[in-house]
Amino acid sequence: MPETLSTGWDIGGAHLKVAQAEAGGRLVMALQVPCRLWLGMAELTNALKNVRDRLLPSNRHGVTMTGELTDLFADRAEGVARLSEAMEQAFGGADLKIYAGPQGFLPPSKAAANWRAVASANWHASARLVAARHRSALFIDAGSTTTDIVPVRNGHVDAVGYTDNERLVSDELVYSGATRTPVMAIADRVPFEGQSQRLMAEHFATTADVYRLTGELPDDADQLPTADGRGKTAEDSARRLARVLGRDLDSAPMDAWRRLAAYLAERQRQSLHAAIDRVLSRGGLDDAPIVGAGIGRFLVRALAARWGRRYADFADLIDGDFQTREWAARCAPAAATAILALDE
């Protein structure tokens, strides 16, 4: 197996992401598949089977994760240990390393003892790659579930927080994403047909429905089942939004549901804008570009425009063909881990 090819993995709670890089850092593949880890470890086993036939032969693997946070595990320490063990079993005999942020890569046998460094460190891998390309930047990865807001200063990751808790406190992590966030987490009251009304606090609709109706969501961005298990047309999404209001689809015209979606999209943007404002208020990034990654890069572009900032796409930091770079931008931690692992 060629030692000049490395494979980067990002084990999330809802998706498995993988990328492969050859010597020099050129990406040769990147993809994402569903992996609803809260349903059990079989989800990871099946996701790995799903992608292994699509991989080029590689003996070098780097792994980062956020899936340890799912309630499948009693705590994050158990999650790190079990996910590391699962990858070691899947790739027995390979040069497999677990990403531990500033500590670099660790052998799986040391991951459990260093779980605090390993847990949810995927954002750090992406930001390290950005820091290698931009001396100063604000890196924003808007994924399906969360948004990372990471300052890069003087060619280094300059985050205030590291753990999920610390990053939530510092607003460098916002639990709001482009497809999986329930509408009830964006607003508790909306204007509709000239009135202001409360929303039902039920998982009836998500941001995927919102952005399908605004026309911003890429067709292949939403890989998981919908909240009601039904279709992914604009009408299906409007029907789910109507349910959040205690209504049925035919109680209002489609234009009304699209206006509601636009309002909810704006509320999410305002929330992210406030978090960015706090991070930028620390100073030192006055002329720095905003570097966007994730399935919700359309959100990052819009936010950069609000700030009057130059937008730089994560895909443009990667060498490879167009399709590979596009998916590398959507799977930034996996792509970054693959590139970083080349130096191990």
As a whole number, the mean pLDDT across the chain is 96
Instruction: Retrieve residue 32's tokens.
Output: 């994402």
Give the domain extent around 240. Answer: 194-265
47 in a structural domain? yes
Q: What is the pLDDT of residues 194-229, one digit of tens each?
A: 999 999 999 999 999 999 999 999 999 999 999 999
184: number of Cβ within 10 Å: 17
Strand partners, 10: 17, 64
272 in a structural domain? no
295 in a structural domain? no
Confidence of residue 2 (pLDDT cuts 50, 70, 90): very low
223 in a structural domain? yes
Residues 261 and 322 in one domain: no
Residues 16 and 115 in one domain: yes
Which residue, among 45, 87, 17, has the nearest Cα to 294 in the 3D structure? 17
Residues 97 and 18 in one domain: yes
The secondary structure element, H or E, covering residue 299 is helix 297-307
User: What residues contact 173, with CB distance under 8 A and at least 6 apart?
Assistant: 123, 146, 147, 148, 149, 161, 164, 167
Which residue matches tokens 């298990």? 229
The secondary structure element, H or E, covering residue 328 is helix 322-330
User: What residues contact 330, with CB distance under 8 A and at least 6 apart?
Assistant: 17, 30, 32, 221, 293, 294, 295, 297
Residues 14 and 115 in one domain: yes
Residues 33 and 125 in one domain: yes
Dist CA 44 CA 73 (whole Å): 14
Residues 207 and 326 in one domain: no
Residues 12 and 100 in one domain: yes
Q: What does the pLDDT average to over 93-113?
A: 96
CATH code of 63's domain: 3.30.420.40
Residues 15 and 93 in one domain: yes
Confidence of residue 4 (pLDDT cuts 50, 70, 90): confident
150 in a structural domain? no
Q: What is the pLDDT of residues 170-197, one digit of tens each?
A: 999 999 999 999 999 999 999 999 999 9
Residues 10 and 118 in one domain: yes
289 in a structural domain? no
Residues 240 and 325 in one domain: no
Q: How many domains does the chain have?
A: 2
Sign of CA dihedral 235, 193, 144, 311: positive
Q: What does the pLDDT average to over 28-49?
A: 97
273 in a structural domain? no
Percent of the chain with pLDDT over 70: 99
Contact in structure between 331 and 18 (CB atoms under 8 Å): yes
108 in a structural domain? yes
Residues 10 and 129 in one domain: yes
Task: Inform me whether the pLDDT recorded for 249 exceeds 90.
Answer: yes
Residues 218 and 328 in one domain: no
Confidence of residue 3 (pLDDT cuts 50, 70, 90): low
Q: What is the pLDDT of residues 112-169, one digit of tens each?
A: 999 999 999 999 999 999 999 999 999 999 999 999 999 999 999 999 999 999 999 9
